[in-house]
Amino acid sequence: MNKYIASILWLSVMLSARERGTAQNSKPLYTAPLGVEAYTFRKSFSINTAKTLDTIKMMGFTEIEGGGEQMPPEEYKKLCGERGISIPSIGAGYEQLVTHPDSVAFRARTLGARYVMCAWIPHDHGVLTYENAKKAADDFNRIGKILSEQGLIFCYHAHGYEFQPYGNGSLLDFLFENTDPRYVSFEMDVFWMQFGGGNPVDLLKKYGSRWKLMHLKDMRKGTKRNLTGLSSPENDVPLGTGEIGIPDILKEAGIIGISHYFIEDESNQVDQQVPQSIRYLKSLKDR
C-alpha cells in the first residue's frame, strides 16, 4: 500500500470517528412533552372520545389541548388521566369568554388546565379592523384579569389576519402593545403566523415571554398567503416537509421558555401525517 492510499484510508477512518462522536454528543432538539391539539382529531372525537384518546395515547402523546366539549369535564379528565394524558390548556370561544368567563374558568380548573386560549376575534368581510382589534384588546384585558384571579393564564391564539397594517406595524403589534402582560399572553401557531406574512422566529424574538404556548404545523411549499386566517386543509403537511423552519423556531421557543407544544394537523390525512410529524420532531438534534 503506498503512502497516498494509506493517508486516504487514515483520513476516512478519522472522519468516520468524528461523525460518530458528533452523533453521540448531539442532544435532541425537542425535549418538551409530546402534545396535540384536539382539533387534529375532530372527526374521530365526534364519533368516540375514548377510542380517540386510545389512538392519541398509542401515538405517544402525553398532553392535549382542549377536547371533550361533548361531555362533563370530570368525565373527560378521567378518560385522559387513565391514559396518562394531561390537559394543560383548553380553548374557548370569544363570545363565551366575554359573556361567561367564570364558567370557562370552572371548566378549565376542573380539567386541571392552566391556560385558556381564544383562537378567533369576530370580524366582518374577512378584514380585521382597528375597531375589532381595539374591542378585542379591551375584552382580553378584562377576561384575562378574571381568569388570573382564578389561577389561570389567558392566551390569544393569533390567526394571521392580524397582520393588517396599522401605524408603524400591524394590528398584531397593536394587540401586544394594548393588552396587559399581567393578564394577556399569546399562543403562536407557526402556520398562521407565516401564512399571514410574519416570520415566526422574528416574532418570538420580538415579544419573548408574552408567547406561552405553540401550535406546531407545517405549510405546503408554495402556498399562497393572505390575511383571511383561512386556508385549504391540503396546505397542512407533515412537519419537516413544508416551508416552515421548525428547527429554528424550536430553538428560539426554547430560549424564551415555551414549555407546551401541540401538534395540530388540519388535513384530512391525520392518521398518516401525524405519525410522520412525530418522527420528524424526535429526529431533530440540537447541534
**The pLDDT of residue 6:** 44
Dist. CA 15–CA 204, nearest whole Å: 37
pLDDT digits (tens, 9 = 90+) for 202-256: 999 999 999 999 999 999 999 999 999 999 999 999 999 999 999 999 999 999 9
The pTM (predicted TM-score) of the whole model is 0.90
pLDDT digits (tens, 9 = 90+) for 150-172: 999 999 999 999 999 999 999 99
pLDDT category of residue 10 using cuts at 50, 70 and 90: very low
Q: Which residue has the higher pLDDT, 10 or 187?
A: 187
- Closest to 225 measured CA to CA, from 244, 248, 251: 244
Domains, the chain:
32-286 (3.20.20.150)
Dist. CA 45–CA 38, nearest whole Å: 8
